Chain A
Amino acid sequence: MLKEISRKNAVHIMLVYTGGCNGCDIEVVNAVMSPFYDLEQYKVMLTWNPREADILAVTGPVTRKMEPALKEIYAAIPEPKLVAAIGTCAIIGGPYANLGGDLGSSDQIVGGVNKVIPVDAYIPGCPPRPEDILQAVASVIPILAGKR
Chain B
Amino acid sequence: MADTDRKDRAEVEVPMGMVHSALLEPFRIRLFVDDEVVVDAEITYDTAHRGIERIMEGMPIQKGLILTERICGICSHIHIWNGTRMVERGLGIDVPQRAHHIRVIGNELERLHSHLLYLGHAFEILGHETFSMRCFMVREPVQNILFVLSGNRVHYTIPVLGGIRPRADISHEKRQTMFSMIDKLETDLREFAARVLNDPFIVSRIKEIGYLSKEDAVKYGALGPNMRASGIDFDWRYKLPEYRDHFDFEVIVRDGGTVLDRVACRVFECLESIKIIRQALETLPDEDPTNVDFELGAMGYSTSYNEAARGEIYDSCALDEVGRIRSYINRTPSMSSLSAMEVSCIGDHLTDASITIASCDPCLTCTNRMTVVDEKKGTNYVMEPEDVLRLARRV
Residues of A that sit less than 8 Å from B by CB: 15-27, 29-31, 34-37, 48, 60-61, 63, 65-66, 68-70, 72-73, 94-96, 99, 103, 106-109, 126-127, 129-130
Contacts and interface: CB of A to CB of B under 8 A. Distances in A.
A26 B55 contact: no
Given A30-B117, A66-B18, A129-B153, 6 more contacts: A15-B23, A22-B74, A30-B120, A63-B49, A96-B52, A108-B50
Interface stretch (B135-143, B180-188, B249-257, B294-302): B135-143
B47 interface: yes
Contacts of B66: 95
24 contacts: A17-B22, A17-B26, A19-B48, A20-B48, A22-B72, A23-B76, A25-B24, A31-B140, A36-B136, A63-B48, A65-B46, A65-B49, A68-B18, A69-B19, A69-B21, A72-B19, A95-B55, A96-B51, A96-B55, A103-B55, A106-B50, A108-B51, A109-B50, A126-B154
Interface of B: 18-19, 21-26, 46-52, 55, 66-67, 70-74, 76, 117, 120, 133, 136-137, 139-140, 143, 153-155, 363, 366, 368, 385
A103 B52 CA distance: 14
Contacts of B47: 19, 63, 65-66
Contact of B154 (A18, A26, A60): A26
Contacts of A127: 73, 153-155
Given A35-B136, A107-B51, A26 B22 contact: no
Given A66-B18, A73-B19, A127-B154, A21 B24 contact: no
Given A30-B120, A34-B136, A21 B73 contact: yes
Contacts of A129: 153
A40 B70 CA distance: 29
A144 B294 CA distance: 57
A38 to B, nearest CB: 10
Q: What are the 6 A-B residue pairs with the smallest beta carbon separation, nearest first?
A: A23-B73, A34-B136, A22-B73, A36-B140, A69-B18, A23-B154
Nearest to A88: B70
Contact of A26 (B26, B49, B51, B117): B117
A107 B363 CA distance: 26
B24 A19 contact: no
Contacts of B49: 19, 63, 65, 108
Contacts of A16: 22-23
A134 to B, nearest CB: 14
A108 B54 CA distance: 10
A109 B54 CA distance: 13
Contacts of A21: 70-73, 76
A20 B22 contact: no
Contacts of B67: 95
A48 B155 contact: no
Contacts of A37: 140
B26 A66 contact: yes
B18 A65 contact: yes
A66 B22 CA distance: 7
A63 B50 contact: yes
A29 B24 contact: yes
Contacts of A108: 49-51
Interface centre among B66, B137, B143, B154 (most CB of A within 10 A): B154
B387 to A, nearest CB: 13
B153 A36 contact: no
Contacts of B154: 23, 26-27, 126-127
Contacts of B19: 69, 72-73
Contacts of B71: 21
